[in-house]
A and B are shown apart, each in its own frame.
Chain A
Amino acid sequence: MIDQIINIIGMLNIRIILGLGGVLTLVTISTLILTWAERKVAGHMQLRIAPKEVGPFGLIQPVADAIKLIGKELLTPRDVEKPLYLLGPILIFVPVLISFVVIPFDAGLQVMDINVGILVILAFSSLTVLSILISGWGSNNKYSLIGSVRSVAQNIAYEIPLLLSILAVVFMSNSFSMKEIAEAQKGILHWYVFRQPLAFLIFFIACVAETNRTPFDLPEGESELVAGFHTEYSGMRFALFFLAEYTNLVIVSAVATTLFLGGYDGPVLPGIIWFFAKTYFLVFVIMWFRWTFPRVRFDQLLNFSWKILMPLSFFNLIATGALLKLI
């Protein structure tokens, strides 16, 4: 009996360790690609050329940037709250990694299928705000503090419509497991984006807000708060925040793909290619937002969530429930 349990735990551990290793590689590579992609997207949207000198199409540019960031001095301002200041950049990265564990990249290609997969992602992605708060508080800088306080208010406000819109999907698929939700959307007409368009819209807007991207990039709004919660971070510590931002981008796009765009579902090509194609398309849309829209104001941001998104997502949830009961 005990042997069996140890065995299972051992097996699990090995799988998780291997999976985490794989995920870490994936995250690093995708972040490198994304920083390059963002600069390319931004460049072409702004009538610029964007990086093209380092490597073919400037593809090696992110590596050059990474080397530069590693080489930079790690400045620690005198009056910072040291434990918190140092913990911030590390903490921001952990929950992001764990969220990848439950995402099904292809049929059978998943680190772990937990039957409450969505809840795991939501629980861990909420932790990001904690690390933003402590790094803002620990920096002992007024701009950082304002940025982190904004971030907390923003995340709380947008978590609720996010959850409610996901619940509509859960109603439809009768499962919290990411894998089963993906399996429930076989064939393009069964994708929840067509069956739950309102939920998708709310989910996507809330996702942009949760990842602090323009037009909801208030915690780090450059023109107002210099750099928001990471004003006082330099070198690799700054790079970790940067890395986390792009990883978050991939996470929310991957979750949106799994929940609404049929996950790895698609004809001819292997599932994993479909999965990444959809994910990166959503990432592109979020980048497109960033280079098109100005930033909203803080009270407008909160009003939009509490007064528009929340009633809408409630309505959507009730309508979904009623329809499912009737049919």
Chain B
Amino acid sequence: MVKQMLEHIKAELPDIHVAEASYPERGYHLALEAGKDNLLKVVKSFYERGLCLEDLFCVDYGDYLELVYFFNAYTGLSRIKTTVKLEPDKPSVPTISEIYPIAHWYEREVHEFYGVYFENHPNLTYLFLHDGIDCYPLRKNRVPVSEDDKQLLTFHDPAPEEDTFSINLGPQHPSTHGVLRVILKMDGEYILSADPVLGYLHRMHEKMAENRSYTQFLPNPSRMDYLSGLNFNLAHVAAVERLCGIAVPERAQYIRTISCELNRISSHIFWMGAFLGDLGGLTPFLYGFDDRENILDILEGITGSMITYCYFRFGGLYNDVDDRFIDATRAFVARMWKRLPMYEKLVTKNVIFINRAKGVGILERDKVRGFGCSGPVIRGTGIPFDMRKIEPYAAYGDMDFDVVTGENGDTMDRYLVRMKEIETSLRIISSAIDKLPSGPFNAEKVPKKLKPPKGDAYHVVESPRGQLGVYIVSDESDRPYRMRWRVPSYSNLMTFPYLSKGMLIADAIAILGSLDLIIPEIDR
């Protein structure tokens, strides 16, 4: 796949410098340097090849700004890091939001954090910083916001039109699960357009990371996603390990796998309850809590916390697991297998539920790459895109499991994929516990003060919501030069305006619920 891609690039884009990168060290396969002029050509060619835009962000190297585009193929491994170098003074670059709709938000984000101007962008306004700010926060030197940008960054309320009205879904609304605000333009009960407004929970974790050492940043990631803290914890730890070249002992990898899968089940159960709550059925929520409580107890036993875990360390774990953990996990797996048929009877076979979920919010297979969505949202459309399978991390390479996919990409499929993933996770946990090797749980010779070699590394894990990527640039100091979080809910939410167009408000709520959004993760 990588070879094919390389040949394709060399054939179609002869004037572009491309180099192969070592995947185990860097986390991407090809590094490509585009210029401002031929960027659109490169992106168009990638879109036609069926690549998705995983991430778009900027790194400030002082002398120049570097825009980084991560492209990936759904069919196999070929992650391409495309970079564009920009002048630090009044940087501007053509927008790619017409090709990849998800870039619409990524570019707004880069614009407000770095002051990069995207030519022909349809709506280059605030995404996160609604209160306004006097300098670009992620630039290394203090650069005051230009007068032009101050105008651009003002938030405008949409002007009312005849026969329509706008309604604010959130930030305080029972169904937005957190502080998401969506401006809906409505015609009666039908939605004409939906415009999500982010930033109510923006804490700037990426800036925080630059101001503290790798170890000090350990507790932060699980605060981004309060339902799957361990997966976020793992993404950070694994990215740093890749950067430093630390080999993790097998026992630690297995325990990481088990605990992450437990976390995934708890997240999916919680989602199922909340989703049914959105549809008006309140009882499954509490049934789910009953099961989830078991997992929280198990995880509390090893990590010491209930929700915002900080269990993994560079090179291993905080501490080893004991027999009590093994027994409790085995008991939970046995219990959960008995509970799943009950959920099936209560929810999956309910006629009202089927009528509400089937055929609602259909995401076509050829649209997903534009939105860059991942996780159950993309697997619901039938694309087997699962990081655990195609880029195995921790001990997933040793596990035997199938990637669950749906068919139509509607709300029902997203529901079914998640419910089946619970079964997959249960199988992974069982086999991982059976195979659990003995030995050390921490790598030897991990220095107290980590100073990774100069360079960058990217690491993805499969969080319950989808592909979670961490990109770290190191300058040999004990703090990350730049840490970028690619979060799954962000790109999944991007599909909402598309899916909810022309739908009833009740359907829009069902769609919003089925995307499984965690707002603190989107806002970071």
Query: Among B280, B346, B355, which residue has its beta carbon within 8 angstroms of that of A221?
Result: B280
Bound complex: CA A184 to CA B48 (Å): 77
| Chain A residues in 8 Å Cβ range of B277 | 223
Bound complex: CA A295 to CA B504 (Å): 14
- When the two chains form their complex, are residues B505 and A146 in contact, meaning their CB atoms are under 8 A apart? yes
Q: A143-B167, A223-B280 are in contact. Are A298 and B506 (CB under 8 A)?
A: yes
| Chain B residues in 8 Å Cβ range of A146 | 189, 505
- When the two chains form their complex, are residues B506 and A47 in contact, meaning their CB atoms are under 8 A apart? no
- Per the 8 Å Cβ criterion, residues 203-226 of A in contact with B are 214-215, 217-218, 221-224, 226
- When the two chains form their complex, are residues A296 and B352 in contact, meaning their CB atoms are under 8 A apart? yes
- Per the 8 Å Cβ criterion, residues 261-283 of B in contact with A are 276-283
Residue-wise, chain A 263-303 has the 8 Å CB interface mask toward B (1 for contact) of: 00000000000000000000000000001111111111000
Question: Min CB distance, B357 to chain A, in Å?
Answer: 9
Question: Min CB distance, B43 to chain A, in Å?
Answer: 39
| Chain B residues in 8 Å Cβ range of A295 | 279-281, 352, 356, 506
- Per the 8 Å Cβ criterion, residues 195-252 of A in contact with B are 214-215, 217-218, 221-224, 226
- Per the 8 Å Cβ criterion, residues 126-172 of B in contact with A are 165, 167
| Chain A residues in 8 Å Cβ range of B505 | 146, 224
A52 contacts chain B at the CB level, 8 A cutoff: no
| Chain A residues in 8 Å Cβ range of B421 | none
Query: Among A46, A143, A222, which residue has its beta carbon within 8 angstroms of that of B286?
Result: A46
Name the residue on B nearest A48 (C-beta).
Answer: B286
Bound complex: CA A224 to CA B507 (Å): 9
- When the two chains form their complex, are residues A46 and B352 in contact, meaning their CB atoms are under 8 A apart? no
Q: A224-B505, A226-B173, A297-B507 are in contact. Are A47 and B280 (CB under 8 A)?
A: no
- When the two chains form their complex, are residues B509 and A224 in contact, meaning their CB atoms are under 8 A apart? yes
- When the two chains form their complex, are residues B174 and A222 in contact, meaning their CB atoms are under 8 A apart? yes
B23 contacts chain A at the CB level, 8 A cutoff: no
| Chain A residues in 8 Å Cβ range of B283 | 45-46, 291-292
A142 contacts chain B at the CB level, 8 A cutoff: yes
Bound complex: CA A295 to CA B507 (Å): 11
Bound complex: CA A293 to CA B284 (Å): 10
Q: A46-B282, A143-B167, A226-B174 are in contact. Are A293 and B350 (CB under 8 A)?
A: yes
- Per the 8 Å Cβ criterion, residues 250-309 of B in contact with A are 276-283, 286-287, 290
Residue-wise, chain B 198-218 has the 8 Å CB interface mask toward A (1 for contact) of: 000000000000000000000
Query: Among B165, B173, B350, B504, which residue has its beta carbon within 8 angstroms of that of A297?
Result: B504
Query: Among B279, B290, B507, which residue has its beta carbon within 8 angstroms of that of A223?
Result: B279
B175 contacts chain A at the CB level, 8 A cutoff: yes
- When the two chains form their complex, are residues A223 and B167 in contact, meaning their CB atoms are under 8 A apart? no
Q: A142-B167, A296-B355, A298-B189 are in contact. Are A291 and B506 (CB under 8 A)?
A: no
- Per the 8 Å Cβ criterion, residues 35-74 of A in contact with B are 42, 45-48
Question: Min CB distance, A142 to chain B, in Å?
Answer: 5
| Chain B residues in 8 Å Cβ range of A298 | 189, 504, 506
- When the two chains form their complex, are residues B287 and A221 in contact, meaning their CB atoms are under 8 A apart? no
Residue-wise, chain A 116-151 has the 8 Å CB interface mask toward B (1 for contact) of: 000000000000000000000000001100100010
Question: Min CB distance, A306 to chain B, in Å?
Answer: 16
| Chain A residues in 8 Å Cβ range of B352 | 215, 293-296
Residue-wise, chain B 332-352 has the 8 Å CB interface mask toward A (1 for contact) of: 000000000000001000101
| Chain A residues in 8 Å Cβ range of B290 | 47
B353 contacts chain A at the CB level, 8 A cutoff: yes
| Chain B residues in 8 Å Cβ range of A224 | 175, 505-506, 509
Name the residue on A nearest B506 (C-beta).
Answer: A297
Query: Among B167, B282, B356, B509, which residue has its beta carbon within 8 angstroms of that of A296?
Result: B356
Bound complex: CA A298 to CA B353 (Å): 14
Question: Min CB distance, A209 to chain B, in Å?
Answer: 13
Query: Among A48, A215, A223, which residue has its beta carbon within 8 angstroms of that of B509?
Result: A223
| Chain B residues in 8 Å Cβ range of A292 | 281, 283, 346
Question: Min CB distance, A316 to chain B, in Å?
Answer: 22
| Chain B residues in 8 Å Cβ range of A221 | 280, 506
Name the residue on B nearest A146 (C-beta).
Answer: B189
Bound complex: CA A226 to CA B352 (Å): 21
Name the residue on B nearest A299 (C-beta).
Answer: B504
Residue-wise, chain A 138-177 has the 8 Å CB interface mask toward B (1 for contact) of: 0000110010001000000000000000000000000000
- When the two chains form their complex, are residues A46 and B287 in contact, meaning their CB atoms are under 8 A apart? yes
- When the two chains form their complex, are residues B356 and A297 in contact, meaning their CB atoms are under 8 A apart? yes
- When the two chains form their complex, are residues B287 and A294 in contact, meaning their CB atoms are under 8 A apart? no
Bound complex: CA A99 to CA B277 (Å): 34
- When the two chains form their complex, are residues B165 and A142 in contact, meaning their CB atoms are under 8 A apart? yes
Name the residue on B nearest A214 (C-beta).
Answer: B280
Name the residue on B nearest A142 (C-beta).
Answer: B167
Q: Which residues of A are interface residues toward B (Cβ below 8 A)?
A: 42, 45-48, 142-143, 146, 150, 214-215, 217-218, 221-224, 226, 291-300
15 pairs from A and B in contact (CB 8 Å cutoff): A46-B282, A46-B286, A46-B287, A47-B286, A146-B505, A215-B352, A222-B174, A222-B280, A223-B280, A292-B346, A293-B281, A294-B279, A295-B352, A297-B355, A297-B507
* New A-B contacts (10) at CB < 8 Å, excluding given A295-B279, A297-B356: A45-B283, A46-B282, A48-B286, A146-B189, A146-B505, A218-B506, A223-B175, A292-B283, A294-B352, A299-B504
Closest 5 pairs (CB-CB, A-B) = A295-B280, A294-B281, A46-B286, A294-B279, A223-B175
Q: Which residues of B are interface residues toward A (Cβ below 8 A)?
A: 165, 167, 173-175, 189, 276-283, 286-287, 290, 346, 350, 352-353, 355-356, 504-507, 509
